[in-house]
Structure 1
Amino acid sequence: MNTIQSKTFGLLLRVCISVLLLGALFKIMHWPYGTIVMLLSISGILILYPLRFYFITEKSTMDYVKLALVVLWCLNYLTKVFHLYQLPLFFNIVLLLLFIWWFINEGGTGLSFRNIKIKGVLKLFYIAIVIFAFGCIVLGALFKIQHWPYSNLLFVIGVTLTSILVTVDHFVRA
């Protein structure tokens, strides 16, 4: 796959993931249109990821694992939304095993800050924003469970920042 196609598919997938996070936020906060937003983003991922996979010239085993993981996960969600049928327990176990396989092989690389293009104070600021966003999500969830004040504010800030960071990360990583 040439670099331009890879960057284009990567950016479009990241935008779909950002929209998916915002749709999940809408659903959790019981705001309107959460299901529709999630449905559109899942459909986008289900279309874009196999296209991205098709254009990869040298496919590795992990590429096939990721394709199966994404497609099974999207189909699982879509069947639940449309109440078509529940995927048998076997498919959920396969989905879990594929996720574990992916996490063991590549899961930690996404959390690394080594391949960031920006340097100096800007890199430290970016890392601080990432930590702040995830901290807001964790604290917002904890506050929500405990019924403490400001839980919604913390959770909304955290998920919104994370959805922005998913797209911005495309431009920041080498």
Structure 2
Amino acid sequence: MKKLGMKLIAGTAIAGGIGGASVVGASALNATEEPKISAEEALQEVFAKVEGTVQEVELSLEDNRFYEVEVESSSREYEFMIDAASGEFLTQAPDEEAVPDEEFSRPVDAANYAEYATIETKVTTDSLTYHLATDNPGNRILFLVNESGEKQFKTIFLKHSQELEIIDLDSGKRIYQGKI
């Protein structure tokens, strides 16, 4: 299989961008070979499902063109294949339905978190539950989940700089970014 390697510098990716990482090799495609979605858009689709560190992004140029995205989370490694024309998931490993995803299944009482007051002023949280995805010395990532178990908002709090980002997962738009 012929692939155009689009390696990413390992770093925690944040929805809406690739935190500190850069895509290389994309200029090797000519205008007639350009995929309809970018590597960044493929990563946004991946990070709507799982948070982690990007290990590699490759674009296949033969047959059905797709992005192969490898992500390492705190508990496991994932490999996604995303159609380069539609952005649709072709495959995902490990199968999230076969293996419970413990990363997003921990509801928490977030009232004692430094970012809580800011989140409450920016998002209507009446019917949402806070779910902890990551909490380490560097950052804390929360998902606000509705009663049906669907993630509605993602918050990323950088502890050292006291910066908060809130993303509306339905629209994919950032609704807040700043220091708290």
TM range (shorter): 0.3 to 0.5
More strand by share: 2
Q: TM-score, normalised by structure 2?
A: 0.31
Higher RCO structure, 1 or 2 (CA under 8 Å, sep 6+): 1
